Structure 1
């Protein structure tokens, strides 16, 4: 074996140590470098913004003059000249209302946020908005104004100078390069230096230490010592000293081992005596094991007597306790919840089982004795192997049997005294082990009695539960029937409100038409009187014709308005009462629904907006669709905008093939999280007693899921409004 063998570099502890150290160093260096680069980028971008602000002073006078004189050719020349500055990549000049464009050059941002490029021929082309972050724009804007002859400042428009993150990147990339190269060079240099130092001061001493250990054997242990020759008092030197000390102790231990071997021979002589003692203990343990097995069998038998009467169970437990302890007699005294004696049970080998009445003549057990009372008060086991003045009178023979030894144990559950059990007249003295066995038997008896009582209670509860289940099923059927009736009533009430809205909305144009007609009749009657009297003038006829013409226009306008309203209401009403599906234009139908609901909100400050492409057509059930939309709007009006004068409701409709998504939201008071999961439950309402039925959103959910075969979800937070997302197929 080569004693000078060294560990490969990859497996060296120095290498592993350096890996951990330089991993942490690399992460710290990377973090600091990234922070440095971010700060450098931020300050450079800030400098570019300052430079854009400074350029305002340079170009503002020329731009103001060009716009004031409407010299657009000069304006384009100035704008294109601004692009020569290295930090400017685009510029635009807009009018005083920020809508019209005087001119632009380079890359700039349109009113809708779209990037636009003006080429050399003067054409504007939109650019792809999905650019990387370094191509995004930032800008500096300033107003242009002109002071006229009256020394009044007139705002001409606004100029916005654009730059981009790529400009900033170009300014800092050289610094980034040197910063990264510097970090890499330092990391490599430190790695080589630390590796060399680690091998010199740790790896090589450890290799010498290992080689020295391999030369140790049992023969040279007494005089052999390891010498690593490391410099100074360091850990290697301390390890060398500790190992040499261990060799010395190991040598002394071997000598002790030889002396111990001699002592083993002496101990063998004492082994036989110990074997005899252990055999006796094993015999005793085996006897106790048989007792434990007997007790387990008796408990198992009691557990199988659950269907037997309580008295039979107590009789068996008492008989088992007497026989198990090799006694002649025993008793069990049960206590009620007030810890007053309830029943006394006695069993003896001469008379068998006796269920005793409580009276003062009871001698065994003597419940009035000081021993029994001490057990009740102290609640502790009592062993008396020298009993005086207690007699048991046999019922069969009439003989008085003296009680010479007795064992009494109480059973406590949850601080309450359950029972006191006792056995008497064992041929040997009672021990604490006998008390332990009797306690276990009584615990088993009480557990089985409680289980029996629990089973009886469960049977009774099951009977009650079956009866309640039958009643609940009947009630559930009645609730479902009532719910269907209420849903149908809600739909009819909605149709009634629609009809009332028709009457109210049409009343205004019809009333105006009637007023105009009455006025025409009056003017006609007045002119007819003048005609018959021969006093009609040409001016009177011209005035009459002008008046009738104006009134006719008013009548026609109001009647056309009424006709349009009737047409819209007619289609919505037919859809609501008809279960047939048909093709509808979503944008048009939403506006028709708003017309039918206008009486509900036109006298409020609330606003409803519809953002829906005009070319979305779907095949669906219009009546169900109307009910969903109207219930959502009414839910917002009733609940969301309570105590809110000006609210906003928005419908955003988009296509998600093969479905359409209706995103309805309001800016009302929102819904608390604890009731958000209940909003679609039937009969759940926060307006109980104030006209709320709790069926509005439940009907919406059923119509969307069952009729329209779609999905609906609700999102909300208090004071942040409410959102309903509805997805329905484009064709059913």
Structure 2
């Protein structure tokens, strides 16, 4: 029968399992890298959507086909973009460049919520479509759609180096493991067994003492047990040989002693056999105990894997809950912002009614005196006194009409600028002093109902590039908070706004002389949904919106202080602002 090496057999089985496991893990890593890269490309497409949607919407709304084509040509030059299609609100193609799906979906524009994912396995293309929504006068209109496509070739080009690295890493680890196992099996099993075999082949029956095993190994293992058993057998053979020699020299004189020695030898052999059997039995017991321990370890590992799976599932659910809470918070913040703008719009509209009504009355009166003048002319009753009276009344009416129309125009202009800034995040150059006056003018209808006053101390030459909508929202929220909370029981309150520039930083110091707040309320001032008037309709989002605008939108910082004598102060620092 052909001899089979135990070490080679063990090595073959271990490496076979490791090779299959390595191939499986490497394949899973490559698949995960593919889907991860595809997810990144989809995220880049969504980011690109936010970048181009505004300009494309304006171009399609204004029927500027050439601008839409230029934007599309610029996008198709990006290596990630393999195809782009722009259609109008009637699904008529405005421009179509690069790859195109063979069977595009006929999705109605009314079904778009944010974007629609597109994927074609046969053509290796994927991407998404999104509507072009134009906002005008507080209403939204879908003016067209845009389809952005990418391909699997882009994914493979990005993960090509990673695939080579994964395969190379698996090959290096496998090679090192093969070498390590070969060295370990050779050192711990093959070489000791070969040494034992060679020593057994060199057994000399004439001198068995010289044939004892001598393994250079201090460890106590199965090989040492075999060595001890073989050496014991050699000792017995030596002893038996000595006794046999003695008995041969005294054969004629000690036959009885020979029988006795034979009996003793049999007893010794029986004893050694019993000892060997006991040793084998103990080894079997130890092996059973090791198997039981292995089973216990496997059961413990299974329990830990189940616990880990449960923890991962719970962690995933918690992450999803946090994401939903963040989305809900963003929607509440946006609703609070639009509610503030709506209330401001209603108050401005009510305020505009007064100068418009006076203007209509003046116009009617002017029409009446003109009719009376025409009647006097027709009846030939015209006199110098009549003309003077008509001129005086007409001038008075025109003065009233001009002043009130100018007042209405100022209110509408201030509100329009502030409202546009709050719904538009574009950065533009503003004069801080004039812009603060426009903000105060836009909320004049609300201040008019109170006896409170607002004082602004600002250098009229300070101009900065910033988000004016964020500035307006911050000032309006601060003033409304002062009116509702700080001046709740105060008839004549004073609000002071000081604006200065210190070391290339714009400093806005807002103060009121209201009731102030205690230290516990001050610590929770910027927390979302924290309010001291929850029973009166307070949402607790005013100061939270202010902090988000200062820190997130304007990249600045805000601190609040409340003195022992009452009142509340806010210090806002806007860094790295270009000013003149």
TM-score range normalised by the length of the shorter chain: 0.3 to 0.5
Larger gyration radius, structure 1 or structure 2: 1
State the structure with bigger RCO (CA 8 A, min sep 6), 1 or 2. Answer: 2
Greater percentage in helix = 2
So what's the TM-score if we normalise by structure 2? 0.45
